Chains A and B, each alone.
Chain A
Amino acid sequence: MTFQLPELPYAPDALEPHISKETIEFHYGKHHATYVNNLNKLVPGSPFENASLEEMIKKAEGGIFNNAAQVWNHTFYWQCMGPNAGGSPTGRLLNEIVSNFGSFDAFKETFSASAATLFGSGWAWLVVDAEGKLHITQEGNAGNPLRKGLKPILTCDVWEHAYYIDKRNRRPAYIDDFWKLVNWDAVAKHYES
C-alpha cells in the first residue's frame, strides 16, 4: 500500500497569527511529508505490506511504528484545528467534558498541563475509553493512544518543531494559542463516531 500526504484542510496561512505560515510549511510540507515518504520506503517487503496505519500503530515497532504513527498523528492534528475556530464545545461533548473534568476550564487546565509537562517530544491527547469515559493522556515521540485501545478525539503536538519558529522555548504560549485554533466541530465528530 502506498500512503499519500493528505491535503491540509486549510491554507498554510489560515492559522495565523497563532501558528505561522512558515511553521505550517515546514511542519506539514517537510515533517509530515517525510514521515509519509519514510513509511513508503519501510513498508514494502515488511509484514505490514497490506496493513492500514491503524494496524501498524497497534502492532508495529521501530521505524514502521514511528513513521506510521507520525503520519496518523499529524493528519489528525491538522483536523483538530482550523481558522475561525476556538471557543468551547457544545452539546453532548461539552456535557461529557463537564461531567468528567468538572468544567470546561478545568479540562483545559489539565490538558494544557499535560501538554506542557510532556518531557521531550510527543503529544497530548483527549481520548475516549471502551466505556465511553474521557481521559487526558500524554504520549512520548510518536506515541498514539490507539495502541492502548483508546480512541483519540483531540491532540496537541508538542514536538519542538510544532512551535519553535513562532514561540522558541515558550511551549506554554503555544499551548495557549492552540485553544484559539481547536475545531470543536471536528472534535465532536471524532467523539460521536
Chain B
Amino acid sequence: MTKVSDLIFPALPYDFKALEPHIDAMTMEIHHDRHHKAYFDNLQAAVKDSPMASMDFIDLLNNISKFPVAIRNNGGGHYNHDLFWKVMSPDGGGQPNGVLAAAIDKHFGSFNAFREKFETAAKTRFGSGWAWLCVKADGSLDVCSTPNQDNPLMDVADCKGTPILGLDVWEHAYYLKYQNKRPDYVGAFWNVVNWTEVEKNFKNAQ
C-alpha cells in the first residue's frame, strides 16, 4: 500500500524525445512537467492536513465518490499519468507475448480485434478522457473509456477493473503534433506500447 502523502512525482522513465516521431519531445515535456506535475501538486494540496493523506491511494480511488471532486480530478490525474508513462517505451511496439497474448486472444478473439476495440474506445470518447485495457474482478479483460481523469478503479466509473494499459486522449496529449487528428495519434500509440510492462501489470492484477 502507498499512503497518498508518500506518493512521489515520478521522473519520466526515458528522455522527452525518446518517443519521437510518434509523440514529440515538446508534448512529452509539457505533459509530464506541467500537466502531470499540476495534478500531483494539487492532489497533495487537497489532502494536506486531512485524514485522506494517510489513506492508501488505491483505496481512496476505489471510494472516490465519498471524497471531494478535487481528489477525484487530481488523484485520477496522478494515477493515470503515472501509469501512462510506464506503459510506453522507445523500445515498445509490436504485440504482447505469453500469458497476456493468450488472455487477449481469449477475451477479444485476436490481437487485431482487441486493437480495433481499444482504438474505437479512444477515438469515440467525446471531450477529454482515457481509453483503458483493464482486468475485471472476475479476471477477464475489458476495454472501455472514462471521461476527464476518471479511471476504472473509481467507484464512479461505468467500467470497473484494474487498468493495465491506458491511453490519454485529452487534447493536450496530442494537439501539438496531431491537432484535430486524434485517430492518427491513436494509431501511432501502438508503436510505443511497452508490452513487457503491460504484461507485468496483467500478472499483478490477477
**B34's contact among A26, A141, A159, A169, by CB below 8 Å, is which?**
A169
A164–B126 CB distance below 8 A: no
Residue ID in chain A nearest B74 by CB atoms: A119
- Give Cα A119–Cα B128 distance, bound, in whole angstroms: 9
- Give Cα A159–Cα B206 distance, bound, in whole angstroms: 38
A160–B171 CB distance below 8 A: yes
Residue ID in chain A nearest B69 by CB atoms: A119
Residue ID in chain B nearest A65 by CB atoms: B126
Interface residues on chain A, number (Cβ under 8 Å) = 19
A34–B73 CB distance below 8 A: no
B126–A161 CB distance below 8 A: no
Digitize B178-196: 1 where CB-to-A-CB distance is under 8 Å, 0 elsewhere: 0110000000000000000
Collect the chain A residues with CB atoms within 8 Å of residue B147's CB. Answer: 120
Collect the chain A residues with CB atoms within 8 Å of residue B34's CB. Answer: 168-169
> Considering residues B38, B126, B148, which has the most beta carbons from chain A within 10 angstroms of its beta carbon?
B126
**Nearest-Cβ distance from residue B69 to partner chain A, whole angstroms:** 8
Taking A121-B171, A161-B171, A169-B34 as given, write out 16 further A-B residue pairs in contact, using a Cβ cutoff of 8 Å, ordered by the A residue number.
A26-B179, A30-B179, A119-B69, A119-B148, A120-B128, A120-B129, A120-B149, A120-B170, A121-B127, A159-B171, A160-B171, A160-B175, A165-B175, A168-B34, A168-B176, A169-B30
Report B's interface with A, CB cutoff 8 A. 30, 34-35, 38, 69, 73, 126-129, 147-149, 170-172, 175-176, 179-180
